[in-house]
Chain A
Amino acid sequence: MATPADLKQLDGMGNYKYGFSDPDVTVFKTRKGLDHEVVRQISAMKEEPEWMLEFRLKALDHFFERPMPDWGGDLGRLDLDNIYYYVKPSEKESKSWDDVDDTIKATFDKLGIPEAEQKFLAGVGAQYESEMVYHSIQKHLDELGVIFVSIEDGLKNHEDLFREHFATVIPHTDNKFAALNSAVWSGGSFVYVPPGVKVELPLQAYFRMNTANLGQFERTLIILEEGAEVHYVEGCTAPVYTTDSFHSGVIEIVVKKGARSRYTTIQNWSVNVYNLVTQRAMVHENAKHEWVDANIGSQLTMKYPSCYLVGEGAHGGILSMAFAGKGQHQDTGGKVIHVAPRTTSRITSKSISKDGGRASYRGLLKIYEGAVGSRSNVVCDALLLDENSRSDTYPYIEIDENDVSVGHEASVSKIGEEQLFYLKSRGLSEEEAITMVVSGFIEPLVRELPMEYAVEMNRLIQLQMEGSIG
């Protein structure tokens, strides 16, 4: 049911490009709401082993016991009883592009993802309504011994590998929403890179939500054996709906000795979505993990990618960007936990607030006793585009070791009259001038994106700035 507030929010969407929805091709849904029976149903639908069902039920009980977080964003309007916890779009996962439903193909077209590009890229896993419907792995990935499949197939076909690592990085007791995801997870990717194997092309997963009130609980598990390398990229877009949607993912990455991984997200949920994601990498000896995290959409995002540096010489990097427009709250940042000696980390956060939007940086840097010779540097820059918008910084730093080096810088700036005058004197309109300053501000993040995503990102920012001048 659309409330006046929802409709108002839709007004604010203006020319939101990806705001469309397709006819419902769903073949199976659980009923709304959540109890043991719904979880049993999900597990049965997926023909899971007994241990997974037990895990889900244990997680569900923990979810019920755990209080809602009283920090971060306002979760008051999130109605957890009014959500479908599992939606299955079609009986069978499609194996080739030809098998993909035409409606779904049309959706991809609207998203502007060229078919050729998808085929070119090394295995495109597209999550559509909670499940992989299209998933192709290029031959050479197979030859390398790399596994890149849906999380369901990972469990089904690689159970030992799966069970050894699953929920070891993020246990079901980690937080309320990790518990929820553990109970009802569906969709996501399972990636395994064997020792010494370097995957040259980024692995990409496009997914989107398409059913009103559909909660998406994707779960991704990425395992890098010693000396392996991989870059995983996810970009999301979602259609507009008049009731609140909810997305709560869990992403676990195990980065073993000397391995290197990067996980890039471009999050562009429509502005009625609650996006509460837990993502963490366990980084072992001399290994390196980087999160590149761009949050543009959603009503509320609470997301703090984290790195646990558990092996000597491990490195963790977090590069995060948040854009908070009208009615949006981006509560984002990062966490790094230094456990082992001589570990290093770098957190760079860039936020932009506009039209009353609110961007908060929330970060935790923790250095345990014994993590001697560790170094960390945190930089947070906020850009406010008008007087009504808001930016906060909550940097938590806990250091229990003396022999460390830690730097923290934070800045808040506004677009200056002089900057605008300068750009306008070259013929740029006010809107073009502001867009240019904003693009420059986020350049350090955009530079790190694969090219096609960088282009997409610049387009998204342009879109967000359009029509913003009265």
Chain B
Amino acid sequence: MGPNGAGKSTLANILMGHPAYQVTQGEVLFKGENIVGLAPDERSRMGLFLAFQYPVAIPGVSVANFLRMAINARRAAENGNGKKIPIPEFRELLKGKMDLLKIPHEFAGRFLNDGFSGGEKKRTEILQLATLEPEIAILDETDSGLDIDAVRIVAKGINALVGEELGILIITHYQRILNYIKPDFVHILLAGRILQSGGADLAEHLEEVGYEGILEL
């Protein structure tokens, strides 16, 4: 958590390897490996995922085709021989994930993020998370721009996915989503540094005193 301009999205982008950011020092360790030199797709195939604050539109490419190609790209990289997911199996998989997130099935045929509302984009990010099954997911302000019902649905989806298989780093500046998700750890980022770390109660405390209150400590 952190106020606007604290460096939260910068951190998310750096972790995923955005080409506009240059890492001048330090390491990013994932599965014991420093991934700073890896391309975003290599990081993704290692199991890292970023739900974008502003998801990008890909006109002409349906959500279903996009996800199927992403799965195939990951499989090809994994087992080398490029074994593709059979289409019926993929359909079942996608249908299940859509039901989990209460996304209507006709969404699969829509062009990715093209003309989507803010809420639809964020839900599609979570659908991608659910379908691609990464090991660590960073959710960059996935809750912002969502109405209260959508926050609840997204939170429910996140709760269903998180566990032994998936760790999640949620970036937010509202406490709102934390009404539905109980974090194991809370870190407060300010001016590019982690100012304070704690448990779920830190978020509650933050809600009471605000970032200024934390700063005064």
Contact = CB atoms under 8 A, between A and B. Distances in A.
A417 B19 contact: yes
B60 interface: yes
Interface in A434-451: 436-437, 439-444
Contact of A427 (B19, B61, B70): B70
B140 to A, nearest CB: 11
A139 interface: no
B45 interface: yes
Contact of B58 (A423, A424, A427): A423
Interface residues of B, number: 29
Interface string B23-45: 00000000000000001110111
A433 B66 CA distance: 10
B16 A425 contact: yes
B69 to A, nearest CB: 6
A428 B59 CA distance: 17
B49 A425 contact: yes
A92 interface: no
Highest count of chain B CB atoms <10 Å: which of A422, A426, A436, A441: A426
A418 interface: yes
Highest count of chain A CB atoms <10 Å: which of B18, B41, B61: B41
A427 B77 contact: yes
A26 interface: no
B61 A432 contact: no
Contact of B66 (A416, A417, A425, A436): A436
A74 interface: no
Contacts, number: 76
B58 A421 contact: no
Contacts of A443: 59-61, 111
A255 B69 CA distance: 42
B73 interface: yes
B16 to A, nearest CB: 5
Nearest to A420: B19
A416 B54 CA distance: 14
B74 interface: yes
Contact of B70 (A419, A426, A442): A426
Nearest to A444: B60
Contacts of B118: none
Interface string A352-378: 000000000000000000000000000
Interface in B59-78: 59-61, 66, 69-70, 73-74, 77
Given A417-B20, A421-B19, A426-B128, A439 B45 contact: no
Interface residues of A, number: 24
A418 B74 contact: no
A430 interface: yes
B132 interface: yes
Nearest to A446: B60
A424 B40 contact: yes
Highest count of chain A CB atoms <10 Å: which of B56, B74, B77, B128: B56
Contacts of A419: 56, 58
Interface string A49-80: 00000000000000000000000000000000
B141 to A, nearest CB: 16
A81 to B, nearest CB: 45
Contacts of B18: 421
B44 A426 contact: yes
A422 B77 contact: no
A421 B61 contact: no
A429 interface: yes
Given A422-B52, A425-B16, A425-B44, A436 B69 contact: yes
Interface in A117-150: none
A76 B43 CA distance: 50
A442 B59 CA distance: 10
B56 A432 contact: no
Contact of B61 (A417, A430, A439, A444): A439
A294 to B, nearest CB: 15
Given A417-B19, A427-B41, A441-B60, A422 B132 contact: no
Nearest to B59: A440
Contacts of A425: 16-17, 40-41, 43-44, 49-50, 52
Nearest to B20: A417
Interface string B182-207: 00000000000000000000000000
Contacts of B19: 417, 421
B55 interface: yes
Given A421-B19, A424-B39, A437 B50 contact: no
Contacts of A442: 60
Contacts of B128: 426
Contacts of A439: 60-61
Contacts of B41: 424-430, 433
A441 B70 contact: no
B61 A424 contact: no
Given A430-B39, A437-B58, 7 more contacts: A421-B19, A423-B58, A424-B39, A428-B70, A429-B73, A441-B59, A442-B60
What are the 6 tightest A-B residue pairs by CB atom distance, in nearest-first order?
A440-B60, A443-B60, A440-B61, A424-B40, A422-B56, A427-B44
Interface of B: 16-20, 39-41, 43-45, 49-50, 52, 55-56, 58-61, 66, 69-70, 73-74, 77, 111, 128, 132
15 contacts: A417-B19, A422-B52, A422-B56, A424-B39, A424-B44, A425-B17, A425-B40, A425-B44, A425-B50, A426-B44, A427-B41, A427-B45, A427-B70, A427-B132, A441-B60
